[in-house]
Amino acid sequence: MNPEQFVEELKKENIILSDQQLEQFNLYFEDLIETNKHVNLTRITSKEEVYLKHFYDSVTPLLHFAQFFGQDASLCDVGAGAGFPSIPLKILRPDFKVTIVDSLAKRLTFLDNLTKKLGLDGVELVHGRAEDIGQNPKYRQQFDIVTARAVANMTVLSEYCLPLVKEGGYFVALKGPKAQDELKESQKAVDVLGAELVASKELTLPLSQEDRSLLIFKKIKATPKKYPRQAGMPRRKPIQ
């Protein structure tokens, strides 16, 4: 997917990119590739793949489930890495108030420089483990939307993310193909953590054979205080 095809595919979903937004995506690509020479941010480096597998992939929740993304929504991206999906979402929706959580300082340094180059306001970068951030009163149950992409399986991911979602808010998981098995295995965790599945979609990225799954969970009650457990515990002893 080249930039022109990216524009056309978004246009099909009634999203018309401004010249400023086009330039922001272009600068994002250039900065990602340049920084990736000395900081391991991504194994995907061709322009066509970055636009498809990073930029377009990141905005699919907004294309298919716009009803869950309210005006001026507070969005927390857990384990964002090089800024996916939160930065592409922020470019499309400058009204979002974005908090990015990542455990690697080098990635946050890249994102700090990037957001300044792109002129993105309302982005907070938080260095730490999701388990620790989820117990911090400043962030716990404070967000309208929490996103995560390619971070962990659904059971573990739910414990990372759901404690950050406010009651009535949404957890948006961007997964690979056929996430239904993960979904079944995570049902106990989702219940315990106070959420329920309200929408899901399997899709193929345009101009490709790349299959993806989107899962949307609504927070229906407060997460018990014991969750998330201490760092490392969700992976070692997933909620069963």
In order of 30, 102, 197, the CA distances from 200 in angstroms are 33, 26, 8
Long-range CB contacts (within 8 A, 24+) of 237-240: 238/153, 238/155, 238/156, 238/159, 238/189, 239/155, 239/158, 239/159, 239/188, 239/189, 239/192, 239/193, 240/188
Helix pair angle (19-35, 3-12), 10° resolution: 130
In order of 51, 61, 101, 105, 218, the CA distances from 171 in angstroms are 24, 11, 15, 25, 6
Give the 3-state secondary structure of 160-196. HHHHHEEEEEEEEEEECCCCHHHHHHCHHHHHHHCEE
User: Which residues participate in the annotated binding site for S-adenosyl-L-methionine?
Assistant: 79, 84, 130-131, 149
Neighbours of 143 (CB within 10 A): 24
User: Which residues participate in the annotated binding site?
Assistant: 79, 84, 130-131, 149
